[in-house]
Structure 1
Amino acid sequence: MNAPTPLVLEVVSLAGPIWSGEIREVDLPGSAGRFGVLARHTPLLTTLREGMLRVAPLQGEPMEIYVSGGFVEVQPDKVTVLADLAVRDADWEHAQAEAARERAASGMAQAFTDEDYMAMHVELIHRYSLQLRGRPPR
């Protein structure tokens, strides 16, 4: 019986390397939907949404790795995941909470809560709706 062709998976987050090894298959949360990768996959570069990587290593038990988003590069013999935040399955709930905290603390999120910004946004929506109805803005 032929052994499966190995595929190397490397998962890296902003904090550093998370996991690397030979795998049979990996299932990823792509921004357009979940997709699987086996050895000899067509080269691909795409974005990831928040979710779990499901990894079937050549040796050992299947595992899951949480990613909060990022990119994946697929080559016929290697898959590289560059995640914003990545954590092995044991700590994924903590990682989700941390990612939510980081998003809430971002400058853009804080700007959305500013009252002046909200007033400006409401005014722009009002003017745009008048324009769609064929009325001049007042």
Structure 2
Amino acid sequence: MQHATRRCPAAHPDDPTLCAGPVAVTVLDASNAGAQGCEHHAARLLASLDGGRVYALPDAPTGAAIRVFTTADTLRPFCWVDGPRTQPSQFSRAENRTPTAADSRPVAAREAATAPLAFPPRQGQSGDVPS
């Protein structure tokens, strides 16, 4: 799905959302390939990478990289894709760390135990990347 509105380089082609603010950070993957982006799309990209890092651009607002990092922690990889998520790599890092009161296993472990595989893992974990 291509969008007519010009968006930052960190925006995934299938992500329907518009940029939120100016390009402020660079997100690097595990092999140091990078994309500059607004905080919104940078957080979505970082959440979808295994081993990604974020760096503020010189003219970025104070705290931009920290905001992207903390937001990415709570976002599920490829969060614009609907469907059941059954594997730990398909949940946010925060969900994978946080058990509930009723079950001491993290959310991803509980849901993975009861549902079939239906969504691709994070980019970099299996080589399969949604396009």
TM-score (norm 1): 0.30
**Greater gyration radius:** 1
TM-score (norm 2): 0.31
